[in-house]
A and B are shown apart, each in its own frame.
Chain A
């Protein structure tokens, strides 16, 4: 039983990280109906900025702010310079441009910073607090979980309570109608990309200290797992991203703990099939018809 609780806490800690990153994917899907395959590489790039600022100023929080700001800027830039023009050839073209962007970003990071791992210090203690002899969450895990939940709450407010949030949703779901109603669809798209990349940058800063360290491929594995989490939760739902992230984290932890580390890809596939065959739009998909 101790083992079970241990694995549960371990899974929650990992899941919080996946949730944060899945959120960024959900955001961009809601804003632009595209899965941003470059999200991981963009987040790594902004994390480099964040840690450069953090080590220059000595303040993690300044670094975090710098990362998020550079994320906002990078997202807007990518939309304005690339995605806006790639969209014309169909949604797959945007995916390919994103994949190209991954190669460019990773290569450029490698050229500037070298291929080595760089230390990524965490702002809070990473030693787990012990509950009844079980190593449970560390203060850092709690911060990650708290940050992810806070972002969800803020997004909920943004999308349901503010005019700009409503316009963004409208622009994504019905661009033609929105345009007729005077919404600047293009500006809303830019804003959506910026926002998503900002959240992605935050997620990157949260993820990097839990892994091998900062290097250009630091988010490769996380991207795959977070994409799974977002799909399981339903790409339209920020709440789904958090639930999906935690669920995937827990399952990976149980499977790794009880069956061994090799079996996790199989477990991920089984989870995906189980969820999607029952609910083809993910756990938190809106109850609307699949076919028009």
Chain B
């Protein structure tokens, strides 16, 4: 964390180059980029739906959690990786979305308002409210750099228990709120697995987020984000409103976190301040850096990692049989140690995160193919 975290993606071209209009990466007109992203989204979505049809309830919940976290990590990585603004407070933004959904759902339920549209409406409210919160944080953040921004957002991350306790009447203190669960529509049949329905809800949210963000980062605004990150002075010279871009980045990122937080709440139909501790905010940052900062594919790795972190303790306890005394000492602790070690090793072995590492491996393979056009039928298998 320096005053201006610049070297986030390796070998970024010079900032001014990025400002030139240039050809979009897709090569064709903009409409085709959108179409391509849409096709990939539908493809990915269909694949996941196919998979969820085969999965047991708990595995479907895991899929759902990955999707909920993906909304958050995708928005977070755009802010930190592409715009260079460090946020340690995304856990609190998730909480904002989660509480908005809980309060909206409860309010509608009390007034006996029902219908298929209530959940999308609640989630939309979560996005709106959290984006507003992001605007407030973003306005302050636009003036701050590096560790000073980290300090403020860290303070934001610790705010959730305080706010929920002070306004106990609204948020019900540390016990949190419960709201009506999202049940599958009757059209799917009486025996339709509720967890699969939750996975589909989360999947829809994640695909929507990824689709919007993928188009956003390829757009003019995406180029502004990177320009501001790489060199504020140059960006300003090129006519990019630096502060405005930074605030807007925060708003977009917060909106995604709000959606993710809202979906996260829907999965269990509960919210509580304890679900959004400081650790969550730190783990979110870890997830996007380990996944590969600034890359949406990296955000997927990050989301997978967050869910793996939650499930690791169970896995380790199950597959290790130890003497009682040893198990006592290792239980729980072993999982944390393993996860910590993985973090360190990945960071040392692949400084660009998992996605960066894969890209490097891919590039090497492709290079090998190109250097040997395989006239004699030699395969690039070395």
Q: Which residues of A contact B (CB under 8 A)?
A: 29, 33-35, 37, 82, 85-86, 88-97, 99-104, 106-108, 110-112, 114, 224, 227-228, 230-232, 235, 262-266, 268-269, 272-273, 276-277, 280-282, 290-292
Closest to A104 in B: B340
* Known contacts A102-B340, A104-B341, A107-B340; A265 and B147 CB within 8 A of each other: no
Number of B positions contacting A (CB below 8 A):
56
Min C-beta distance of B350 to chain A, whole Å:
8
Min C-beta distance of B226 to chain A, whole Å:
15
Q: Determine if A269 and B341 form an interchain contact, defined as CB atoms under 8 angstroms apart.
A: no
A94, B150: Cα distance in complex, Å = 14
Min C-beta distance of B279 to chain A, whole Å:
9
Contact of B166 among A107, A230, A266 (CB under 8 A): A266
Min C-beta distance of A54 to chain B, whole Å:
23
Contact of A272 among B7, B151, B165 (CB under 8 A): B151
Which residues on the B side are within 8 Å of A291 (C-beta)?
232-233
Instruction: Please provide the chain B residues from 320 to 375 with a CB less than 8 Å away from any CB of chain A in the complex.
Output: 329-330, 332-337, 339-344, 347-348, 351-352
Q: Determine if B152 and A107 form an interchain contact, defined as CB atoms under 8 angstroms apart.
A: no
Q: Determine if B140 and A89 form an interchain contact, defined as CB atoms under 8 angstroms apart.
A: no
Which residues on the A side are within 8 Å of B341 (C-beta)?
100, 104
Q: Determine if A262 and B285 form an interchain contact, defined as CB atoms under 8 angstroms apart.
A: no
Min C-beta distance of A225 to chain B, whole Å:
10
Contact of B351 among A93, A100, A268, A281 (CB under 8 A): A93
Which residues on the B side are within 8 Å of A263 (C-beta)?
162, 166
Contact of B162 among A110, A227, A266 (CB under 8 A): A266
A29, B5: Cα distance in complex, Å = 14
What are 20 pairs between A and B in contact, CB < 8 Å?
A89-B352, A91-B7, A92-B1, A92-B285, A93-B351, A96-B343, A97-B347, A99-B285, A103-B336, A103-B337, A104-B344, A106-B336, A107-B335, A111-B334, A231-B147, A264-B162, A266-B162, A280-B145, A282-B148, A290-B145
Q: Determine if B144 and A280 form an interchain contact, defined as CB atoms under 8 angstroms apart.
A: yes
Min C-beta distance of B60 to chain A, whole Å:
29
Closest to A32 in B: B2
Closest to A90 in B: B7
Which residues on the A side are within 8 Å of B3 (C-beta)?
33
Q: Does B210 contact A (CB under 8 A)?
A: no
Min C-beta distance of A215 to chain B, whole Å:
12
Which residues on the A side are within 8 Å of B344 (C-beta)?
82, 97, 100-101, 104
Contact of A92 among B144, B289, B334 (CB under 8 A): B289
Q: A35-B1, A89-B10, A265-B155 are in contact. List 11 more A-B contacts (CB 8 A).
A: A89-B347, A96-B290, A99-B282, A100-B286, A100-B339, A100-B342, A108-B333, A263-B166, A266-B166, A280-B144, A292-B233
B contact face: mostly helix, strand, loop, or mixed:
helix
Q: Does B8 contact A (CB under 8 A)?
A: yes
Specify which of B156, B293, B340, B342 lies most central, judged by the most chain A CB atoms within 10 Å of its CB.
B340
* Known contacts A89-B351, A92-B293, A111-B329; A227 and B5 CB within 8 A of each other: no
Q: Determine if A269 and B351 form an interchain contact, defined as CB atoms under 8 angstroms apart.
A: no
Q: Does B163 contact A (CB under 8 A)?
A: yes
Q: Mark B160-178, 1 if CB is under 8 A from A, else 0.
A: 0111011000000000000
Closest to A260 in B: B166
Which residues on the B side are within 8 Å of A37 (C-beta)?
282
Min C-beta distance of B108 to chain A, whole Å:
29
A99, B151: Cα distance in complex, Å = 16
Q: Does B159 contact A (CB under 8 A)?
A: yes
A29, B2: Cα distance in complex, Å = 9
Which residues on the B side are within 8 Å of A96 (C-beta)?
285-286, 289-290, 343, 347
Which residues on the B side are within 8 Å of A231 (C-beta)?
147-148, 150-152
Min C-beta distance of B374 to chain A, whole Å:
34
Q: Determine if B147 and A235 form an interchain contact, defined as CB atoms under 8 angstroms apart.
A: yes
Q: Determine if A272 and B152 form an interchain contact, defined as CB atoms under 8 angstroms apart.
A: yes
Q: Mark B221-234, 1 if CB is under 8 A from A, else 0.
A: 00000000000110
Q: Determine if B158 and A265 form an interchain contact, defined as CB atoms under 8 angstroms apart.
A: yes
Q: Does B80 contact A (CB under 8 A)?
A: yes
Q: Does B86 contact A (CB under 8 A)?
A: yes
A277, B293: Cα distance in complex, Å = 28
Q: Determine if B147 and A35 form an interchain contact, defined as CB atoms under 8 angstroms apart.
A: yes
A86, B155: Cα distance in complex, Å = 26
